[in-house]
Amino acid sequence: MAGTETYFISDLHLGAGYIADPRAHERRVVEFLDHIAPRAGRLYLLGDVLDYWWEYRDVVPRGFTRFLGTLARMADAGVEITWLKGNHDIWIFDYLPSEIGLRVHDGVLVEEIDGRRFLMEHGDGVGRLPATFRALRWLFRCRPAQRMFAAIHPRWTVGFAHAWSAHSRKKGGYVPAEGAGETLVEWAAEYNAAAREKVDFFLFGHHHTMVDRRIADGARVMVIGDWINHFSYAVWDGEELSLRVWNGERER
Q: What is the pLDDT of residue 224?
A: 96
What pLDDT, in 10s, does the model give residues 24-60? 999 999 999 999 999 999 999 999 999 887 777 777 7
Provide the mean pLDDT of the chain. Answer: 86
Fold of 5-245: Purple Acid Phosphatase; chain A, domain 2 (3.60.21)
Give residue 211's identity as a one-letter amino acid code: V
Q: pLDDT tens digits, residue range 191-233?
A: 999 988 999 999 999 999 999 999 988 999 999 999 999 999 9
pTM: 0.87
Q: What angle do CA 226, 106, 47 make, to 5 degrees?
A: 10
Through-space distance between the first and last CA atoms of the chain, rounded to whole angstroms: 26
Contact 213, 227 (CB under 8 A): no
Whether residue 177 is predicted with pLDDT greater than 60 in this model: the reply is: no
Q: What is the pLDDT of residue 172?
A: 43
Closest CA to 7 of 233, 245, 248, 247: 233
143 or 67: which leads in pLDDT = 67
Question: What's 8-53 look like in SS3?
Answer: EECCCCECCCCCCCHHHHHHHHHHHHHHHCCCEEEEEECCCCECCC
Strands 201-204, 80-84: parallel, antiparallel or unpaired by DSSP?
Answer: unpaired
